[in-house]
Amino acid sequence: MGTVVDAPAVVAEEVTENMLGGKKVTAVFVLGGPGSGKGTQCANIVEHFGFTHLSAGDLLRAEIKSGSENGTMIENMIKEGKIVPSEVTIKLLQEAMIKNENDKFLIDGFPRNEENRAAFENVTKISPAFVLFFDCSEKEMEKRLLGRNQGRVDDNIETIKKRFKTFVESSLPVIEHYNSRDKVKKIDAAKPIPEVFEDVKTIFAPYAPKAE
Ligand SMILES: Nc1ncnc2c1ncn2[C@@H]1O[C@H](COP(=O)(O)OP(=O)(O)OP(=O)(O)O)[C@@H](O)[C@H]1O
Ligand SMILES: Nc1ccn([C@@H]2O[C@H](COP(=O)(O)O)[C@@H](O)[C@H]2O)c(=O)n1
Ligand SMILES: [Mg+2]
């Protein structure tokens, strides 16, 4: 009985065509703790594999700067290491994907919790090709964040501790969700940047631009 009920949902997930604004898109979710190196490696992937990088955190910070009515709420959430309501972040991601001519996207720092994950799937009907997970110890991530020097309001020890807690409590379960569906490709992100990228390159080899 359970099998009969469950089967259609599984089939639907497998055959999903990721259509958005009239184009078929490939989306890779890039996840990992704060300071694990998501943004750094996304920049390398963009250069070598022609993806467009959409960082949910960057989009939220741009929204604050734009003077949006949600700006104060977003800034407060970021300072507290909390996750902004999905409707806000999904709207920003969806607009960015539609506006961009590319059809291959790295979605960095999203989905950050179960609400993000379920709402994105419901609204966009997009499921990720895979989830790239940068695995790194808190000790190493803390060192990196305190040395980042980009003037971020959340790169202070008090907020960093809160971000780690949010990651463990809310984001790791999302990675578990995809892991149980064999969608997670885990990378040892504690290694030096070029070595991490060697591992990333192996994963992205199927997406290498064709030689002319
Ligand atoms: N493998 C690495 N080894 C040492 N330092 C690194 C490594 N990867 C990134 N860094 C440095 O660590 C800092 C954080 O990296 P990055 O901004 O890419 O992390 P992130 O995962 O995007 O963090 P956040 O979630 O806070 O946006 C940067 O200063 C970056 O130069
Ligand atoms: N899906 C998301 C992503 C991010 N946030 C908020 O932005 C902060 C910074 O994100 P980074 O990926 O740049 O580290 C994060 O701590 C959250 O406060 C979010 O709410 N939802
Ligand atoms: Mg980042």
Domain presence at residue 104: yes
Domain presence at residue 118: yes
**CA angle, 5 then 6 then 12, to 5°:** 115
Domain presence at residue 10: no
CA distances to 11, 39, 74, 122 from 51, rounded to whole Å, are: 28, 13, 27, 24
The whole-number pLDDT of residue 17 equals 78
User: Could you tell me the residue range of the domain that residue 126 belongs to?
Assistant: 26-205
> Is the separation of the CB atoms in 132 and 30 below 8 Å?
yes
Per the structure, the count of domains in the chain is: 1
**CB-proximal residues (5 Å) to ion ligand 3:** 38-39
Domain presence at residue 145: yes
- The 10s digit of each residue's pLDDT in 6-18 is 444 444 444 457 9
CATH number, domain with residue 161: 3.40.50.300
| Residue 70 confidence (pLDDT) above 80 | yes
Domain presence at residue 3: no
| Binding-site sequence positions for ATP | 35-40, 148, 191
Domain presence at residue 19: no
Domain presence at residue 115: yes
- The 10s digit of each residue's pLDDT in 179-211 is 999 999 999 999 999 999 999 999 999 999 877
Domain presence at residue 41: yes
* Cα 55 to ligand 2 centre (Å): 9
| Residue 61 confidence (pLDDT) above 70 | yes
- Does pTM surpass 0.95? no
Task: Please indicate whether residue 32, judged by its CB atom, sits closer than 6 Å to ligand 2.
Answer: no
| Binding-site sequence positions | 35-40, 61, 82-84, 109-112, 116, 148, 152, 163, 191
